């Protein structure tokens, strides 16, 4: 690796396409494979395309233990989230079944903005506050459920911090109630066990490019039995049970299916490998001193979100030009405002602006991790040499005194170091 080689540690934003998935896609991008529309089953080309789509449906369902009949193809997890929330709530609202939903302040913007749209349509929203470590007590969820609650929408693993919500417990508590549970599993599928059928999930959002599949394709699992009904967002040819009409992109769907099948085969080994890399990153950063973890140690195995005391985030980002990392969620990192996730956790703005997300994958190497740690260590040394905040922190001044009050500090993190 050369000194100026880029190191990609932004796999929570997007993962590289697995060559085996690319090979499977190529068959449907050339020759006879490029001809058939899977809705045109009156001839061989259409039937072959339809068979490929159904095979991919089984592969995606297999990773998350879902009934393949419930897999609805979308353009990605953002569309899946919108279809789940808007579709379920509008269907129930029109039939007088309730106009209330529950979610959490640390959800992805695709969920929060869909919730905001439903509020504009007259629905009531209960947004739960997380604990300082980003976790959510299942009891809080149950307390927020009312007689008119239609839907609870929660992430499995947070896209910024990796914090994992206890979906099995929440789903179990909701079972038997007339309340739907939607789970955004874009970050957890293929990295943590996800059991849609066993847990009792009604709606599950998935993404292709977060798991070494292609961009531009995702899926929403819609529980087929007992049948769950949604209002569609689009109207047209009736494909995907009418929930998502339009000609299916066979090559993208096949690529996602292959990627999910590969993830299912290597789930335990991949999770152990990337968890080791994440922990190696943390150990290296922690040795620098004045580095705080935003989140929990038992989070998703591929995500590490850390705040660096005594440096300005923009200055540190300039020093780390050879590292592809995220200063927040990739969908909103162009926005100079602080992360809504870290704000909800009580992290003061000064520390939130000095926080970065590092995320690894099975294509990451230990050499990548060690080179990243070396770059960060050198940058911190340079920037902290001129930092009055770092000097005061070294003298024992508390983080609260330096950055303002925030409930995101654990007792041992709010003290300076000698």
User: Which residues are catalytically annotated?
Assistant: 331
230 with 83: CB under 8 angstroms?
yes
C-alpha triplet 53, 212, 275: angle, nearest 5° = 135
Q: What is the DSSP letter of 126?
A: E
CA-nearest of 258, 375, 361, 249 to 304 is 361
The beta strand positions in 242-352, using DSSP E, are 291-293, 303-308, 323-324
CB atoms within 10 A of CB 386: 11
Q: At what angle do helices 77-94 and 109-120 cross, to 10 degrees?
A: 30
Tokens of 238: 């009736």
Cα torsion angle, 4, 12, 188, 377, sign: positive
Residues ≥6 apart with Cβ < 8 Å to 49: 28, 33, 36, 37, 38, 40, 248, 250
The torsion of the CA quartet 341, 343, 348, 350, rounded to 10 degrees, works out to 70
H/E element, 187: none
16, two tokens: 């590289």
């Amino acid at each position: 690796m050369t000194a100026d080689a880029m190191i990609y540690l932004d796999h929570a934003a997007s993962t590289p396409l697995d060559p085996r998935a690319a090979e499977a896609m190529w068959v449907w991008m050339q020759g006879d494979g490029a001809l058939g529309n899977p809705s045109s089953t009156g001839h061989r080309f259409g039937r072959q395309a339809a068979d490929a789509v159904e095979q991919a449906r089984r592969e995606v369902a297999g990773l998350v233990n879902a009934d393949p009949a419930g897999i609805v193809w979308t353009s990605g997890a953002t569309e899946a989230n919108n279809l789940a929330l808007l579709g379920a709530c509008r269907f129930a609202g029109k039939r007088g079944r309730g106009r209330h939903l529950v979610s959490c302040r640390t959800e992805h913007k695709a969920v929060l903005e869909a919730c905001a749209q439903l509020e504009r349509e007259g629905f009531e929203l209960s947004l739960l506050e997380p604990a300082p470590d980003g976790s959510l007590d299942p009891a809080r969820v149950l307390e927020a459920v009312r007689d008119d609650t239609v839907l609870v929408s929660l992430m499995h693993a947070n896209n910024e911090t990796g914090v994992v919500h206890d979906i099995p417990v929440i789903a179990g508590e909701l079972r038997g109630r007339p309340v739907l549970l939607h789970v955004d599993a874009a970050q957890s599928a293929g990295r943590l066990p996800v059991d849609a059928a066993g847990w009792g999930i009604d709606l599950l959002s998935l993404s292709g490019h977060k798991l070494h599949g292609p961009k531009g394709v995702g899926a929403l699992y819609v529980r087929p039995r007992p049948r769950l009904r949604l209002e569609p967002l689009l109207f047209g040819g009736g494909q995907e049970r009418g929930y998502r009409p339009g000609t299916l992109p066979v090559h993208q769907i096949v690529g996602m299916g292959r990627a999910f099948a590969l993830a299912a085969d290597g789930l335990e080994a991949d999770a152990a490998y990337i968890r080791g890399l994440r922990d190696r990153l943390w150990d290296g950063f922690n040795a620098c001193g004045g580095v705080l973890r935003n989140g929990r140690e038992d989070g998703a195995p591929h995500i590490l979100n850390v705040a660096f005391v005594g440096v300005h985030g923009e200055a540190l980002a300039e020093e780390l030009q050879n590292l592809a990392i995220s200063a927040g969620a990739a969908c909103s990192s162009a926005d100079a405002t602080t992360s809504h996730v870290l704000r909800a956790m009580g992290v003061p703005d000064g520390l939130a602006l000095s926080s970065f997300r590092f995320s690894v994958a099975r294509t990451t190497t230990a050499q990548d991790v060690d080179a990243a740690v070396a770059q960060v260590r050198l940058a911190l040394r340079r920037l902290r040499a001129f930092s009055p905040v770092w000097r005061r922190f070294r003298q024992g001044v508390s983080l609260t005194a330096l950055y303002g009050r925030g409930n995101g500090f654990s007792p041992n993190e709010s003290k300076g170091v000698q």
